[in-house]
Amino acid sequence: MSRPLDGQVVLVSGASRGLGRATAVELAAAGAHVVATGRSTRGHATQDAVDDLTLEGTLDAVRRAGGSGEWHRCDHTRPAEVEALLHDVLDRHGRVDVLVNNAWGGHDHHDEVEGEEVWDEPMEQFRDMLLAGAYSDYVTTMLTLRLAMGPAGRGRVLTTTWHTPEPPAWVPYEASKAAKNRLVYALGYHLQTRGIPVIAVAPGWMRTELMLTHHTEEELAGRTETPHLAARVLARLAADPDAMRLTGQVVDVGELAEAYGVDDLDGTRPHGNAGRFEPSRPVPPPA
């Protein structure tokens, strides 16, 4: 099996479950030493519905895939915690080659409610989603650039996001994801002369563990993808020597899967992203 990331150190935030866990596994399988971070550890989960999914479990999955890694509890909205994490990683490994911004705690205290007027949405939703999304990405990226990639003169920053041409649904969610996307655009512009690509990837609807607490496999079949499709795309993007061509952009996972020849776990490859899932009851959008 090809291991194009041999010798590289990759930091994946929000790696206790879902796309973050799948990304840690796929990057490790490609040869990277994965630093998995997040807030859910055994006995201290952030989501009661999936309290068995933790960073320790992610490291177990990485090792089952034949990879190497470690886990660190870190709240990426707290600069002091992120800085301490990076100093620890640099002290032991001397480098961070790839950063994957995947942390997202925007649903920790909020659920989408149908039937309310748009102006009735709790004001704190937008604040919390900005903090858990764009601000978390900003803090982690800036500190990684300052302490690791900038001095080294190399690296790449990958971000997971949400992007669709369809009419906007949940206002705080859509606006907070737009902030993440504009951050990628701005950083891509400022870092283009440094040779450090900054790229966002946007999956379709994913059959994450949290999604499966609301719906059965049968309900989701054919209309969603597993997190491993996007994770495999991220692994290819992390190793792509021509990644600068995409810097500052938000690229659909389906488009990249086609370009890289990447399939989902079941061997399928969607033509474009899986469409917006329209369930009979509301569920959170993908992280």
Burial 163-193 (b: 16+ CB within 10 A, else e): bbeeeeebebbebbbbbbbebbeebbeebee
Domain count across the chain = 1
Where would I find the H helices in the chain? 18-29, 55-64, 79-93, 124-130, 136-144, 150-152, 171-191, 217-220, 227-239, 253-260
> Residue 47 domain-assigned?
yes
Beta bridge partners of 68: 33
pLDDT of residue 273: 61
CATH of the domain at 222: 3.40.50.720
> Residue 284 domain-assigned?
no
CA distance linking residue 107 with residue 120, whole number of Å: 18
pLDDT of residue 278: 42
> Residue 140 domain-assigned?
yes
Contact 104, 132 (CB under 8 A): yes
Q: Cα 179 from chain centroid?
A: 15
CA distance linking residue 248 with residue 240, whole number of Å: 16
227-239 and 18-29 are packed helices; what angle lies between their axes, rounded to 10 degrees? 40
pLDDT of residue 104: 83
> Residue 152 domain-assigned?
yes
**What residue numbers bound the domain in which 252 lies?**
9-260
CA distance linking residue 17 with residue 78, whole number of Å: 21
Tokens of 271: 């033509």
CA distance linking residue 256 with residue 244, whole number of Å: 14
Contact 32, 67 (CB under 8 A): yes
pLDDT of residue 268: 78
CA distance linking residue 19 with residue 264, whole number of Å: 13
> Residue 137 domain-assigned?
yes
Which residues touch 247 (CB under 8 Å, ≥6 apart)? 188, 191, 192, 197, 198, 199
pLDDT tens string for the chain (287 positions)?
A: 679 999 999 999 999 878 999 999 999 999 999 999 998 655 555 554 445 578 999 999 999 999 999 999 999 999 999 999 999 999 999 999 999 999 986 655 555 555 568 888 888 999 999 999 999 999 999 999 999 999 999 999 999 998 877 777 788 989 999 999 999 999 999 999 999 999 999 987 655 555 555 556 666 666 677 889 999 999 999 999 999 999 999 999 989 999 999 998 788 787 666 554 444 333 344 44
C-alpha pair distances (Å), 186 with each of 16, 61, 68, 127, 229: 28, 35, 33, 21, 27
> Residue 83 domain-assigned?
yes
**Amino acid at residue number 200:** A
> Residue 279 domain-assigned?
no
pLDDT of residue 17: 79
Helix (H) or strand (E) holding 73: strand 68-73
What count of other Cβ atoms lies within 10 Å of the Cβ of residue 204?
22
> Residue 125 domain-assigned?
yes
